[in-house]
Amino acid sequence: MPPRGLEPAGVALVDKPSGPSSFAVVAQIRRMTGARTGHAGTLDPFATGLLLLLSGRATKLASCLVGLDKRYSTEIDLSARTSTGDPEGEVVARQEPPAAGELESRLATLRGEIDLPIPAASAVKIGGERAYKLARRGVEVEMPMRRSTVRTLDVISYSEGRVVLELDVSSGTYIRAIADALGGHCVTLRRTWVGPFSVEDAVSPEAFSPARLLPEREVLARVEAARA
């Protein structure tokens, strides 16, 4: 009999709904499997889309998966900035949305290698404490910069001050920071790909069953093929 918590083993592709935290979804899957459960990157509560959850022995694959590139679709309201860069924060500034030409000029500065401040409402530790906890208490801190790679940044539509973008970015990129740099905030955010894994192959947390776990060997083979 395998040691407690190591089976069932594999990687779950879960389509997170808007509302619950990623950690709540991890706990939900853990209750279904009875195994130790981890993740390969979280999503903000308001965001939806693909979570890679690691079950049992497969938790050791975390180091192979957390650095994978990601693809997102987001709708950004360019008429207002919020304190969090998303719809959960307070509006801190309002402005006229840019014309299409000005928007493209702003987008051009955000393609390739970029440095942007990490959002204050993030889990990064500042002086040993999570930044979002400091923000909730009204403590203002200078957030560190993070270098990211924006491989593609495409406009799908732009109307009435709201732009829909699709982005391919390196791991650790904050889409909320990109929205803020454009002069707005994310209204919606959906992660559609993590490396070679698509949200189209994912299921809701409620529809998940251990039978849907991808075997470790298959996961590693997909990652290696994507990097080749």
CA–CA separation, 199 vs 51, rounded Å?
8
Residue pair 211/150 in contact (Cβ under 8 Å)? The answer is no
> Could you say which of 15, 44, 77, 180 is catalytic?
44
Residue 21 has a CB neighbour count (10 Å cut-off) of: 13
Report residue 36 as tokens: 């130790």
Q: Quick check: is 44 catalytic?
A: yes
Residue pair 72/192 in contact (Cβ under 8 Å)? The answer is yes
Residue pair 14/205 in contact (Cβ under 8 Å)? The answer is yes
- Amino acid, res. 33: T
Report residue 193 as tokens: 């790909």
Residues comprising the chain, all counted: 228
Nearest residue to 62 via CA among 23, 15, 11: 11
Residue 184 has a CB neighbour count (10 Å cut-off) of: 25
How far CA 59 is from CA of 1, 10, 55, 99, 167, in Å, comes to 19, 8, 6, 47, 28
Q: Which residue bears the tokens 């740099």?
A: 181
As annotated, the active-site residues are 44
